[in-house]
Amino acid sequence: MSAPYVSIKRLADNSMAAMLSAVEVYNKPQMTYRDEVTVTLVVNAWELAAKATLRQDNRSIFYPKQRGERYRSISIDDALGRMNAHGLWPETVDGPAVTANIEALTEYRDRVIHLYNAQGLGAVIYPFLQQNVLNFRDFMLARFKKDLAESMTWQLLPLGATAPADAVQFMRVDRNATMVTEVEEFINALRDLMDAAQNAGGDMSRVATIYDINMQSVKKMSSADLVVAVSPTADGQVVVRKTDPNQTHPFSAKELLKKVNEKRSGRALTSYDMQAICWRDSLRENPRYAWKHSNGVVHVWSGDAVSYLASHTDEQFAGARADYREHLRSKTSR
Q: Given 192, 222, 243, which residue is the final one in a domain?
A: 243
DSSP string for 195-236: HHHHHTT--GGGT-EEE-TT--EEEE--GGG-EEEE-SSTTT
**Within a domain: residue 179?**
yes
Distance (Å, whole) CA 140 – CA 146: 5
Domain match, 15 and 129 both? yes
**Residues in the chain where the model's pLDDT stays below 70:** 1, 113-122, 153-183, 209-248, 334
Query: Residue 22's closest CA among 36, 8, 32, 9?
Result: 36
Q: What is the per-residue pLDDT across 21-41, written as a single tens digit (0 to 9) for each?
A: 999 998 888 888 888 899 999
Predicted pLDDT of residue 283: 93
First to last CA, the chain: 79
Domain match, 171 and 118 both? yes
Predicted pLDDT of residue 17: 96
Domain match, 23 and 68 both? yes
Q: What is the per-residue pLDDT across 303-317, written as a single tens digit (0 to 9) for each?
A: 778 888 988 999 999
Domain match, 71 and 136 both? yes
Domain match, 101 and 232 both? yes
Cα–Cα separations (whole angstroms), residue 185 to 151, 207, 318: 37, 19, 47
Structurally, how many domains does the chain consist of?
Answer: 2
> Which residues does 4 contact at the CB level (< 8 Å), separation at least 6?
62, 71
Domain match, 82 and 178 both? yes
List 210's β-bridge partners, or say none: 219
Domain match, 163 and 178 both? yes
**Within a domain: residue 1?**
no
How many Cα atoms within 13 Å fall on the side-chain side of residue 253?
Answer: 14
Q: Given 243, 260, 287, which residue is the final one in a domain?
A: 243
Domain match, 207 and 320 both? no
**Within a domain: residue 3?**
no
**Residue type at 284?**
R
DSSP string for 226-290: -EEEE-SSTTT-EEEE---GGGGS-B-HHHHHHHHHHHS-SSPP-HHHHHHHHHHTTGGG-TTTE
Predicted pLDDT of residue 13: 96
Q: Which helix (H) or strand (E) holds 189?
A: helix 177-199
**Angle between the 177-199 and 95-111 helix axes, to the nearest 10 degrees?**
170
Domain match, 184 and 218 both? yes
Q: Given 228, 243, 258, which residue is the final one in a domain?
A: 243
Distance (Å, whole) CA 165 – CA 186: 19
Question: 327 lies in which domain range?
Answer: 248-332
Query: Residue 304's closest CA among 200, 191, 196, 189?
Result: 200
Predicted pLDDT of residue 222: 58
**Within a domain: residue 65?**
yes
Distance (Å, whole) CA 214 – CA 130: 14
> Which residues does 300 contact at the CB level (< 8 Å), separation at least 6?
246, 249, 250, 251, 252, 290, 291, 292
Domain match, 83 and 179 both? yes
